[in-house]
Amino acid sequence: MGTRNAANFEEAGAEIAGGGALADIGVHALDFALYLFDFPKMTDVSGVTRTAFGDRDDYADPDGWCFHRDQTENTFDAKDSATALVRCENGATISPDVSWVTNRETNTGVTVRGTDAGASLALGGDTLSVNETEAGSRDHYADTEYEANDEVSGHRAEDELSLRVVTDGTAPGTNTVEDGLLVQRVLDATYRSAKQGSSVTL
């Protein structure tokens, strides 16, 4: 069984890895999505979590991430992938789909599908693609690409904001404690939904 995006399963038991892929990388995808939607009011969450690869004896790792992995004691019980559907009061939906390992090409993208336009961005990439259509004498696509400013580091901007908040004592306008708690509530609801097999009201 070949796989892509292999993770290091050497110490991936739930006791060590905690919530698995959802808590590891899904929290960042969810936080980013909620930020883009200005932290909307949400109604309910449906989620599924899986242990799809890490506990299999026939797991194949062409990239060599897991060459020390030993399944003789069947220690892998963390959830290596998760999918969720978050419904919002305004009709929008957010659907994080995250995995430590999967049989597809590497994909770290975020896609927004709006009624007036759509957009896509590969996390860590330099290009934001905006997709639109326009009517006229001939209907046509009107796609635009925006390149990142290489002189501005996202991590540096975050560090500078954090230092200003600590120095000035002024609460940030975004990424507040309340925002962080909201992200954690959605994560918790996703796990509960997966466990009980039905949606969870927020």
User: Does residue 125 or residue 135 have the better pLDDT?
Assistant: 135
Greater pLDDT, 24 or 174 = 24
Whose CA is closest to 176, among 31, 57, 67?
31
Asked if 23 contacts 57 with a C-beta cutoff of 8 angstroms, the reply is no
Delineate the domains of the chain, giving CATH numbers in brackets. 14-107+152-201 (3.30.360.10), 109-148 (no CATH)
Q: Which two tokens stand for residue 112?
A: 């927004």
More reliable by pLDDT, 154 or 26: 26
The answer to which of 63-67, 131-135, 169-173, 184-188 has the lowest mean pLDDT is 63-67
Contacts (Cβ under 8 Å, ≥6 apart) of 59: 1, 3, 9, 53, 66, 69, 71
